[in-house]
Structure 1
Amino acid sequence: MLRFVWRNHLRKHRSVLFGDLNQRFYHSINGVFGNYNPLDYLKLEKWYRNDFGSEHNLNDSYRLVKKSFEHNGHLLSKLDPLEYSNLVSKTLNRFNLSNEESLIELSKILGCDLIRFLRDESTLSIQNDRENFLQKLLQIYCEKIGYEITHVATHQEYDWIVDYVENGERNQSNDSLVNQNDWKERVVKILLKTEVLDDFLAKKFQSVKRYGLEGAETMLVFIEELIQQSLIRNQLKMDSIAEIVIGMPHRGRLNLMTNLLDYPFEALFNKMSGGEEFSLSNNPKQSKFIGDVLSHLYTSKEIRVTNDDGTDGMMTVTLLPNPSHLEVIAPMVCGYSRGQLLSNRSGPYARESLETQSYPILPIQIHGDASFTGQGIIMETLAMSNVEHFCNGGSIHLIVNNQIGYTTPGRMYQSRSSLYCSDPMKMIQAPVIHVNGDHPESVIRAARMALAYRQQFHKDIAIDLVCFRLHGHNELDDPTFTNPSMYDRIRSRQSIPQKFAKKINWSDEKISGFQNESQQQLNECFLRVKHFDVPSSPPLYRSNSNFGKNQWNNIEWPSSSRITKWNTAVSENLLQTILSVSIQSPPNWSTHRTLTKVFDDRLKKFKNQMDWATAESLAFGSLLCDGFDVRISGQDVGRGTFSQRHCMIVDQKTNDIHIPLNELENTNILDDSYRSKTIGKLEVCNSILSEEAVLAYEYGLSLSTPNVLSLWEAQFGDFFNGAQTIIDTLISSGEAKWLLQSSLTMLLPNGYDGAGPEHTSARLERFLQQSNSSEIEIDSDDINWSVCYPTTPAQYFHLIRRQMLRKYRKPLIVMSPKILLRNPRCVSNLNDLSVPGSHFRSVLDDERFYLSKSYRKQIDPIEFDRPIEAVRTIVFCSGKHYYTLEKELLERFDPNNSQRIALIRLEELCPFPVEDILAILKRYPKAKSLIWSQEEHRNMGAWSFVEPRFRNLLHQQLKYVGRDHLEAPAVGITKLHQEQNRKILNDTFAMIMDHNLQ
């Protein structure tokens, strides 16, 4: 009766608890692409467990005891191989139920009165039956595995886990998913190979930090079991897995790569001897490849499968590269997996019914115990795991719990504030399996259960692999300075491989014979290193990791000799079609009245006064028509921080969401040339309030496929530095380190408008400083990223299209506008987008001198050579500062005198457009003074970047006008800000007067 009343109360207050849930779950057939979350929130009862489950055949006392074991049995489990951090006392005999002291301690830990249970004659008449019941529960819940499930979200999950734990082995004994015949031989060989490799590397490369796996060898057992079980599922065509994507830190990486993923031992030994990962001798375009350290290497393995019906299949296992910044790889793995789902239209992008959707990409995240609780990016990544547009069907988390972080003991109140290192998983109600890493049988059981749960519920699950670390943080580090007791125990132990081999009755001769054979293989590989042919391309580009087809085959390496112009024009007819679709609401749709006016204005001003948001919509739509997908991510990107974008429309009465551009594939008014093409999709992803994890996620997604334009927009450009690690270790240097291209585009709203220190600057100078642009040699396409500051909607249109139409992929950093979004002078003409041959221009000349009269189109500097004799001073600038200077110029000078000054905009700073600037300088032969004017402070903005390039490459001296040095990007006092603005203008034009107009 109580449960009935509670359930009715929940239904009554459903909208208060969860809001209008109907708006959260959409499918592509409803116009919102990729917006399907596997969690079925609509069935509200699933959020509330039926704590009585299937135990109706037990009386209340038995049920209470059993529930206590389900909830707290993990506290009694023997998880620590060192017996160093187990929660129960060593003297406690858990199975001696006749000892009252033991029963009292067990009762305290479990939260139930076992003494009363055993002595209560109303429970069972036979004492042995009660003891047998407890013994069975102790064996299930308190041995080498502990289960934390009290916090899981739904009673379906809870009941499934309990059933699997209590009956899984029996239920699966005849199941072809579990092959009981060969697992011991398979496991012991993995363990012994692991030990042999670590010993071999320790002897051959004594001074190299290899981050060996000694003490945690069962990590490989866990991963290998996941691979085997995935292959079996594929053979049975049962929730098939096309690709396993692994992200991991340094420890055990070399062992996993070689012994599980067939990374050539010769390649490993070559790298450890100081060699390179990829051969550059035959590929001069890769001359800027710098390589990475051992613990960041990556690989990919293809495994062919013969299915039960005789057909052949293939599964790929991919280990992604990672930086040394711990846990950065976690969101990157999630994004890469989502990208694979997107490019192959599976999971949330599939067109099948929601009930039959599968998630054929399996992300595996391997963590360290200290980093999992210590790094905030973990909490951000977990926060995304069940969020629409970011969920990927669930990750399996393996926490390699060394019980130590660097040199700090990994215990509560020493390296963390929680009982377990896995406790962050509770924030997403994910189950946790704690397992003793000294016990391979239990590790295999944990792996099977983790995969079964993930495939059943498409949610995250964690395994806390409790193990130890034989050496220090690396082999050259001595951990006994700070952890003497722990390492006394470690040094006195037999190794896990040797221990398990003896356990399954391998003789000493058999063990040594197998190890000698493995060592001989390593010796032979070591001798072949001098003759080893280093591969010339990355493993992700060599493998067919995209469901049997490699989408990177048609992508080239950029030119190292020139900056290429790419034709990005779009026909006027197609642009008109895209516009009409982009502002069209569905029938009977209640559109916000302000938005109706916005769309009407876009239509009216389309030809002659196109604004920024309209140009962006046309760029996105035209890329969709070219067959590319577009994904824009960030906080409130559907509307836009400044309420400018509106690429998603919300019904004001129902809260339904519509993405107009995704109707392009359904329109009948496209040109005939497009009707036979596959039209792409726009995915609008309003992200969690995070920069670091979301940006890493989008970077990972961009690595998975070249056919998706992934854009990340900061709420304000200032906030990008919340993701500084991602920019430093992935975006700016990923290609140089790993030869992996990315088209990730960062939109950073930037500009000095009096909003204060944290709402002003995207710190342009940082991105320029992190480029590999040279100040003594002319740049080419082969730059690490493009840094652009477009000032017109047309320029932005061509820039976005260029990202996908050029034959290679590069990250793009855009200083995007704020107040220019509605500046009536910041508009473009339809011809600027549609005239054949039009493209993004790295430099915009002063349009007062070079504006074609036949149509409003900026003439390319190289295509126009008529000199302008009147100009005496050239002012170079970037961004919205141009509009301020232009307005001031026209107000201060009469038409004749204003003709003596040219305002030139650098729209692309990196790669630095030397040839375009030279062409412009030649057109002003009598210009004697060159000024760089910027709104930023002298130690910020582009000044320190452009000045040496003008001096060294153009042989010109620039004079600086701008704000003085400052420690913050901007001042917070409005009056002072206005004074600085006025000073910049006064100084700029005073300098002009001094040189030209006196």
Structure 2
Amino acid sequence: MAFKQSAVQSLIYRYRDIGHLLACTDPLHSCPTSHPLLDLAEFELSESDLETFFPTRNFVQPGGTLREIVAILQQTYCRSIGVEFMHIQDPAERQWLKERMEPNRNRPSFNFEEKTRILWKLTAAAAFETFLHKKFLGQKRFSLEGAETLLPMLDHLVNRAAAGGITDLVLGMPHRGRLNVLANIFRKPYATIFAEFEDNLEYAFVGEGDVKYHQGFSTEIETRDGRRIHLALASNPSHLEAVDPVVEGKCRARQDGYGDNGRLRVLPVLLHGDAAFAGQGLVAETLNLSQLEGYRTGGTMHVVINNQIGFTTLPADARSTRYATDVAKMLAVPIFHVHGEDPEAALLAVDLAFDYRQRFGRDVVIELICYRRHGHNEGDEPFFTQPVMYEAIRNRKPVHELYAARLEEEGLSREQFDRMREDVNTCLEQGLGAEEKTVDEGFRGKWRDIERDYSEEPVATAVTAEILVELGRIATTIPENFTPHPKIAKLMENRRQAFESGDGIDWGGGEALAFASLLHDGVSVRLSGQDSRRGTFNHRHAALFDSTTGKPLFPLAHAGRNGARLSIYNSLLSEAAVLGFDYGYAMETPFGLTLWEAQFGDFANGAQLLV
């Protein structure tokens, strides 16, 4: 009996570890029914043991028959959500996840009003795509069809985030579904989007225009319970995943501006495609930023839209891993694999992911397994290369119809559903008929005092000699209780003498005075790069290190006034992700100096994608 007791505990562990292999998460394939590593025989148990009662440890209930235990495990880990979390090294995080998933068997309990809202968002997503297809036939829009569940997921996240104390949500996403997200999450007016299709917009200055599925957007909305939240969608190039570090930098800048050291006010959210998440190296570089002092943002919520195809390339040719999300395991964070046609399960995954992020300050990944109803774009023919896959897709009903049928069993009438679709289509038709000629809102918020047009008027930047001498004294002052390396102490003394005399100021000294003068004027300075604190050429020494304790000292930081901060960080050994991060940081800091330094200078070509 003792052996079988131990076997039952091993069975529980195994389901938590690989139960996701039996999860029903793929709408294009039948659900798996068995796996040899989860068979009772693997644990030297049999059907004759099913009615035997076994005490359990660290389980949702103190014991039960083997049949009851297996049922709980299968209900929790083998339905519409497959969870990878046993690779997480922190036992507190694993325990938190178990306690959130096992009591409710990983099933949500939404009321009928909440379910109706889910259906409304699914219907709005589908109607928007259908309307664009009919009214702007042949134009690229990179449809969301097949992944419409993303819309209620994002809607739920925005409302949960606002209720959870988030004031700013910054989103980065590729082209697919972008217009739908702009219309139905960011509430960008239909009229503006339709005017972009009709090429009926006048831009305020040269360079402002771009294809409609690259453009960013910023707005403040009111959630369903009356809270306000600022939403920002970062502009996106055709280069997949290039926006990832930019979003991280934008969020960190906002957090620093708010003094949000707990990183609980600003939420970064990144949407990815399956092929790009597995294939683009910038993904791993950006993930590697997440726990570093100069780059952490308190955890990013990642949603991988797994269409099971990349343009015309199938997963077997696109990655060497089981899942598109396996690269994220480098962070030891949870990964939720969700059936794309079970929107309630998807919203539960959002709840788990958001609460995990807020609780532990770490990244979290949701993989929405779905499909792409059309080709790479609306003019592409997918039957050329994936005839079997697309025959299966052609025969599938849209998710909003599937979910409506599910709600009809719970009391929704067909008339209510039809009225919902009519209301959405009425709004779309009204948007098409509205006049929308120009977009010229000017710079807003923290950018409102920035002049749009270039001016040749001189700007006073001079600093008096007296101030420079004083700033030089601050930049070279070492406290008595600090023990510098003897050579560093000599360097600081030589710099002080050069500042006082005005002779022999070297490059590092001149840079120190430049930074100090900005800090003195209330301008924050951020510099990051490889070995930037010392300087690749041993020239900067912005950070000094105590020879006894190893603790750093930043003399220049004492030059700051009016809240100006000095932030100098050694970066990870990456160029593209770090430049992208600091570019995003600079975009949110118009009155600060944000610098990225490429080691030895010519290594800047490692960031060519961002350049």
Indicate the TM-score class for this superposition, using the shorter chain for normalisation. Answer: over 0.9
Distance 2:37 2:330 in 1: 30
The answer (yes or no) to whether the contact 1:245–1:320 under 8 Å persists in 2 is yes
Kindly state the Cα deviation for residue 63 of structure 1 after the two structures are TM-superposed: 2.2
Unaligned 5+ segments in structure 1 are: 1-57, 95-101, 174-178, 234-239, 281-285, 348-356, 543-549, 666-676, 728-998
Amino acid at match of 1:345: G
Distance 2:259 2:50 in 1: 61
Distance 1:472 1:165 in 2: 37
2:257 aligns to what?
343
Distance 2:215 2:269 in 1: 17
Instruction: Classify 1:117/1:695 alpha carbon distance in 2 versus 1 (closer, same or farther; 3 Å).
Output: farther
Kindly state the Cα deviation for residue 114 of structure 1 after the two structures are TM-superposed: 4.7
Deviations for 1:844-885, whole angstroms, at most 9, x for unmatched residues?
A: xxxxxxxxxxxxxxxxxxxxxxxxxxxxxxxxxxxxxxxxxx
Match of residue 697, structure 1, among 556, 581, 586? 581
The yes-or-no answer on 1:142 pairing with 2:75 is: no
Instruction: Classify 1:365/1:337 alpha carbon distance in 2 versus 1 (closer, same or farther; 3 Å).
Output: same
2:60 aligns to what?
none
Let me know the Cα RMSD of the aligned residues.
2.4
The answer (yes or no) to whether the contact 2:76–2:106 under 8 Å persists in 1 is no
Distance 2:42 2:271 in 1: 33
2:218 aligns to what?
300
2:163 aligns to what?
232
Of residues 142-151 and 62-71 in structure 1, the stretch that sits farther from structure 2 once superposed is: 62-71
Instruction: Classify 1:595/1:117 alpha carbon distance in 2 versus 1 (closer, same or farther; 3 Å).
Output: farther
Kindly state the Cα deviation for residue 572 of structure 1 after the two structures are TM-superposed: 2.0
Kindly state the Cα deviation for residue 305 of structure 1 after the two structures are TM-superposed: 6.7
Amino acid at match of 1:293: V
1:329 aligns to what?
243
Instruction: Classify 1:339/1:168 alpha carbon distance in 2 versus 1 (closer, same or farther; 3 Å).
Output: farther
1:473 aligns to what?
376
Deviations for 1:615-647, whole angstroms, at most 9, x for unmatched residues?
A: 111111111121111100100000111010111
What's the TM-score, normalizing by structure 1?
0.58
The yes-or-no answer on 1:590 pairing with 2:483 is: yes
Amino acid at match of 2:280: Q
2:58 aligns to what?
none
Instruction: Classify 1:554/1:306 alpha carbon distance in 2 versus 1 (closer, same or farther; 3 Å).
Output: farther
The answer (yes or no) to whether the contact 1:343–1:708 under 8 Å persists in 2 is no
Kindly state the Cα deviation for residue 574 of structure 1 after the two structures are TM-superposed: 1.9
Instruction: Classify 1:105/1:339 alpha carbon distance in 2 versus 1 (closer, same or farther; 3 Å).
Output: closer
The yes-or-no answer on 1:81 pairing with 2:27 is: yes
The answer (yes or no) to whether the contact 1:212–1:251 under 8 Å persists in 2 is yes
1:397 aligns to what?
302
1:107 aligns to what?
39
Amino acid at match of 2:373: L
> Within 5 Å, which residues of 2 pair with 1:474-489?
474-489=377-392
The answer (yes or no) to whether the contact 1:248–1:367 under 8 Å persists in 2 is yes
The answer (yes or no) to whether the contact 1:117–1:123 under 8 Å persists in 2 is no
1:427 aligns to what?
330
Instruction: Classify 1:420/1:551 alpha carbon distance in 2 versus 1 (closer, same or farther; 3 Å).
Output: same
1:526 aligns to what?
432
Kindly state the Cα deviation for residue 362 of structure 1 after the two structures are TM-superposed: 0.3
Instruction: Classify 1:303/1:682 alpha carbon distance in 2 versus 1 (closer, same or farther; 3 Å).
Output: same
1:711 aligns to what?
595
Kindly state the Cα deviation for residue 358 of structure 1 after the two structures are TM-superposed: 4.3
Distance 1:306 1:148 in 2: 32
What's the TM-score, normalizing by structure 2?
0.93
The answer (yes or no) to whether the contact 1:394–1:460 under 8 Å persists in 2 is yes
Distance 1:696 1:707 in 2: 19
> Within 5 Å, which residues of 2 pair with 1:551-700?
551-559=446-454, 563-606=456-499, 607-665=502-560, 678-700=562-584
> Within 5 Å, which residues of 2 pair with 1:299-318?
299-304=217-222, 314-318=228-232
Amino acid at match of 1:703: M
Distance 2:609 2:393 in 1: 35
The answer (yes or no) to whether the contact 1:213–1:252 under 8 Å persists in 2 is yes
The answer (yes or no) to whether the contact 1:298–1:319 under 8 Å persists in 2 is yes
1:70 aligns to what?
16
Instruction: Classify 1:510/1:192 alpha carbon distance in 2 versus 1 (closer, same or farther; 3 Å).
Output: same
Distance 2:135 2:582 in 1: 40
1:386 aligns to what?
291
The yes-or-no answer on 1:448 pairing with 2:351 is: yes
Local SS of the residue matching 2:39: helix
Deviations for 1:199-233, whole angstroms, at most 9, x for unmatched residues?
A: 00001111211011110001111111111112222
Bigger radius of gyration: 1
> Within 5 Å, which residues of 2 pair with 1:147-226?
147-167=83-103, 180-226=111-157
Of residues 188-197 and 606-615 in structure 1, the stretch that sits farther from structure 2 once superposed is: 606-615
Distance 1:623 1:504 in 2: 61
Instruction: Classify 1:114/1:470 alpha carbon distance in 2 versus 1 (closer, same or farther; 3 Å).
Output: farther
Local SS of the residue matching 2:392: helix
Distance 2:422 2:438 in 1: 27
Kindly state the Cα deviation for residue 304 of structure 1 after the two structures are TM-superposed: 4.0
Instruction: Classify 1:622/1:690 alpha carbon distance in 2 versus 1 (closer, same or farther; 3 Å).
Output: same
Kindly state the Cα deviation for residue 172 of structure 1 after the two structures are TM-superposed: 9.5
Deviations for 1:585-616, whole angstroms, at most 9, x for unmatched residues?
A: 23321211111111111112221222211111
Instruction: Classify 1:650/1:613 alpha carbon distance in 2 versus 1 (closer, same or farther; 3 Å).
Output: same
Local SS of the residue matching 2:341: coil
Distance 2:507 2:120 in 1: 62
Relative contact order higher in (CA < 8 Å, ≥ 6 apart): 2
Deviations for 1:661-718, whole angstroms, at most 9, x for unmatched residues?
A: 22235xxxxxxxxxxx514111011101111111011111111121221101110221
Kindly state the Cα deviation for residue 106 of structure 1 after the two structures are TM-superposed: 3.5
Local SS of the residue matching 1:167: coil
Instruction: Classify 1:464/1:187 alpha carbon distance in 2 versus 1 (closer, same or farther; 3 Å).
Output: same
Deviations for 1:785-815, whole angstroms, at most 9, x for unmatched residues?
A: xxxxxxxxxxxxxxxxxxxxxxxxxxxxxxx
2:271 aligns to what?
366
Amino acid at match of 1:423: D
- What percent of counterpart residues are identical? 35
Instruction: Classify 1:594/1:73 alpha carbon distance in 2 versus 1 (closer, same or farther; 3 Å).
Output: same
1:536 aligns to what?
440
Kindly state the Cα deviation for residue 344 of structure 1 after the two structures are TM-superposed: 1.9
Of residues 610-619 and 295-304 in structure 1, the stretch that sits farther from structure 2 once superposed is: 295-304
1:131 aligns to what?
67
Instruction: Classify 1:679/1:493 alpha carbon distance in 2 versus 1 (closer, same or farther; 3 Å).
Output: closer
Distance 1:443 1:299 in 2: 25
Local SS of the residue matching 1:78: coil
The answer (yes or no) to whether the contact 2:575–2:607 under 8 Å persists in 1 is yes
Kindly state the Cα deviation for residue 406 of structure 1 after the two structures are TM-superposed: 0.7
Kindly state the Cα deviation for residue 78 of structure 1 after the two structures are TM-superposed: 0.4
Kindly state the Cα deviation for residue 306 of structure 1 after the two structures are TM-superposed: 10
Unaligned 5+ segments in structure 2 are: 56-62
Kindly state the Cα deviation for residue 268 of structure 1 after the two structures are TM-superposed: 0.3
Kindly state the Cα deviation for residue 580 of structure 1 after the two structures are TM-superposed: 1.2
Local SS of the residue matching 1:636: coil
Distance 1:264 1:681 in 2: 39
1:263 aligns to what?
188
The answer (yes or no) to whether the contact 1:61–1:117 under 8 Å persists in 2 is no
The answer (yes or no) to whether the contact 1:336–1:697 under 8 Å persists in 2 is yes
Kindly state the Cα deviation for residue 571 of structure 1 after the two structures are TM-superposed: 1.9
> Within 5 Å, which residues of 2 pair with 1:832-851?
none
Instruction: Classify 1:712/1:409 alpha carbon distance in 2 versus 1 (closer, same or farther; 3 Å).
Output: same
Instruction: Classify 1:686/1:292 alpha carbon distance in 2 versus 1 (closer, same or farther; 3 Å).
Output: same
The yes-or-no answer on 1:243 pairing with 2:163 is: no
Instruction: Classify 1:123/1:153 alpha carbon distance in 2 versus 1 (closer, same or farther; 3 Å).
Output: closer
